[in-house]
Chain A
Amino acid sequence: MIPQSITDAIELLTSGDPYTYSVIWLSLKVAFFSLLIATIIGLPIGVILGMTRFAGRIGFLIIVNAAMGLPPVVAGLLVFMVLRNEGALGPLDMLFTPGAMVIAQVPLAMPLIAGVTMAAISTVGRPIRLQARALGASRIQEAMMLMREKRASLVGACIVGFGATISEVGAILITGGNLLVGGRNYTRTMTTAIVLETRLGNFSRALAFALILLLIIVFVNIFLTRAQITRFET
């Protein structure tokens, strides 16, 4: 079956099948925007928690660490409750849209990015921070310097976040619904497609999507890891 699925995967990729490409494209789009928003929120949180000491910091650390283990279906359920017609954001009419899928994935990726960033920033020694201040750096400039010093780790945080979003299924299944509308893909990603094809007994097609997903993950990670090592570690 696995050799057959490899053949199917190659055929799916080379045949120019619009359905397959739309599923891949949507997967990447949802993962990218989830990662982008999670990074915009998680990175500053990680930097603040890593470089400052304030009352209640321990509480924030516990929240971030606990949120790293947030079950995707729980995140999906909570976002579903907020976005449904009766929910707080019901008037936005976002449920079962790619936007809802992005919103559902942000709380899954954001704690990972914040946690890895915090761990990296807190390893920067006091002397280097003092030296930046001694040369006239403001708090924000000091934070920027710390991020620059730890940029390889921050790329690592993004790799972790990308892994979490591209491979996630529970939250986007609940909030996206795995829909084809009028024969066109609307909220189906590779992970939800794998779930569907497996349920339908199309194991070969499910395995083909799984292989494509794995290939994308490997390629993106090769690119990011190379950047991490060659550009940011020196």
Chain B
Amino acid sequence: MSEPALRASGIRRIYRDTMSLEVDELSISAGEVLCLLGSSGAGKSTLLRILGLLERADGGEVVIGGKRADPTNLEARRQVSAAMQNVVMFKGTVDDNVRYGLKVRGVPKRDAVHAVTQALQLLELENLSERRVGGLSGGEAQRVALARSIAVDTEVLLVDEPLAQVDEPLRERLASRLKQHIRDRMVATLWVTHDRSEALALGDRIAVIEDGKLLQTGIPMNVFSRPADERVARLVGTENIQQGVVTANERGLASVKVGDTVFEASSNVSAGSDVLLLVRPEEIAMATSEPQYSSPRNRLRGRVSDAVVQGALTKIYVEAEIPLVAVVTSPTYRDMELRPGTTVWASFKATSVHLIRRT
């Protein structure tokens, strides 16, 4: 197996005598996007600075292109480029800013012009190239910061919430283009975000970080549907989490008692185990009359307590034997008239239930 473009192991960071960052192993291959997902203060930006050789860790090593790298090693630092969360512009024009990384590397002028033009085109900034940075909006400045990091064409790219201030639909368009660019140029990319939909859309893999520790790393669908623990579950948006006990397990079909209700789950967790029962909101089907011929093994009758429209999707809060949160498309919400007080049947498959053993 080939060496990943970026590998970090045993990374430790101590802040005021407390371990603030503890990452045992993290690697990114060429052309791969690893989304680092975590809430504010989880340690995402600190990890990015350490991986970007901008800060020294208190322990562990960072290996870039197969060689151990150090913040004092300029050659190693120039294999990485980073766009920080706090967007700072250097005085001058957009073009001056995007050119900066090429200038410090001594790239010949003709090549630099070509690289700057490409980066500006990628981020849809061609018309702003001569604009002084003082007049840029937050979203434009963020795109310039990203263009600046991409123009240098490094083996490793680290970006911290790079499109957070960019408005839709441009944000989605740029994200898609960037991912293509990263694949084409085989850039190993760490994309720091707290936005799980962005992580799901962009990440070839996702690493979930909380309280300075990597809790789970894997392909997005696995992390989202099979979170390793409750903290990961909450971070990836699993809002239906209940404590229960496995009462029986027959050939991988577990019966889980939650309060007075028994649910069925596809799981190998043995009978007698205390578990957390997790169901993602989008796995729950809603009906306003009792389904006669439905395959899901789990079905609950309840009443809509609230409905929150979130653009194309609407979140439905249901009071049933256990409280449930489901997601339907907004047209479905309108068609089904899922107003508060409406009686509904919520159903989900045994395979949609994920069990986590409680310790």
Contacts and interface: CB of A to CB of B under 8 A. Distances in A.
Interface stretch (A11-19, A93-101, A135-143, A206-214): A135-143
Contacts of A227: none
Contacts of A132: 90, 100, 104
B77 A131 contact: no
Interface stretch (B28-36, B80-88, B226-234, B310-318): B80-88
B163 to A, nearest CB: 17
A61 interface: no
A62 to B, nearest CB: 29
A234 B132 contact: yes
Contact of A128 (B90, B101, B105, B132): B90
Interface string B266-300: 00000000000000000000000000000000000
Interface string A141-154: 10001001100000
Given A127-B84, A130-B49, A130-B84, A136 B90 contact: no
A133 interface: yes
A149 B105 contact: no
Q: How many of chain B's residues touch chain A, expressed as a range? A: 20 to 34
A154 to B, nearest CB: 13
Interface in B73-106: 74, 77-78, 80-84, 86, 88, 90-91, 100-101, 104-105
B91 A148 contact: yes
Nearest to B53: A133
Contacts of B158: 134
Contact of B91 (A127, A134, A141, A234): A234
B148 interface: yes
A145 B99 CA distance: 13
B64 interface: no
Contacts of A131: 84, 88, 90, 145
Contacts of B52: 134
Contacts of A128: 88, 90
A135 B134 contact: no
Contacts of A138: 74, 104
B149 interface: yes
A136 B54 contact: no
A77 to B, nearest CB: 43
B207 interface: no
A130 B54 contact: yes
A125 interface: yes
Interface string A214-234: 000000000000000000001
Chain A interface mostly = helix
B91 A135 contact: no
Given A130-B54, A130-B84, A131-B84, A137 B104 contact: yes
A141 B74 CA distance: 12
B152 interface: yes
Interface string B102-141: 0011000000000000000000000000001010000000
Contact of A134 (B74, B82, B134): B82
Most B C-beta atoms less than 10 A away, residue of A135, A136, A148? A135
Nearest to B78: A136
Contacts of A135: 81-82, 100-101, 104, 148-149, 152
Contacts of B77: 133, 136
B91 A136 contact: no
Given A149-B91, A234-B91, A234-B134, A134 B86 contact: no
Interface in B236-268: none
A7 B81 CA distance: 66
Contacts of B84: 127, 130-131, 134
Most A C-beta atoms less than 10 A away, residue of B81, B82, B148, B152? B82
Nearest to A137: B104
Contacts of B152: 135-136
Contacts of B80: 134
Contacts of B78: 136
A132 B84 CA distance: 10
B83 A134 contact: yes
B104 A125 contact: no
Contacts of B149: 134-135
B74 A149 contact: no
Contact of B81 (A125, A134, A149): A134
A135 B105 CA distance: 9
24 contacts: A125-B88, A127-B86, A127-B88, A128-B88, A130-B49, A130-B54, A131-B84, A132-B90, A134-B54, A134-B80, A134-B83, A134-B149, A134-B158, A135-B101, A135-B148, A135-B152, A136-B77, A138-B74, A145-B90, A145-B100, A148-B90, A149-B90, A234-B91, A234-B134
* 3 closest residue pairs by CB, A with B: A135-B101, A134-B82, A136-B78
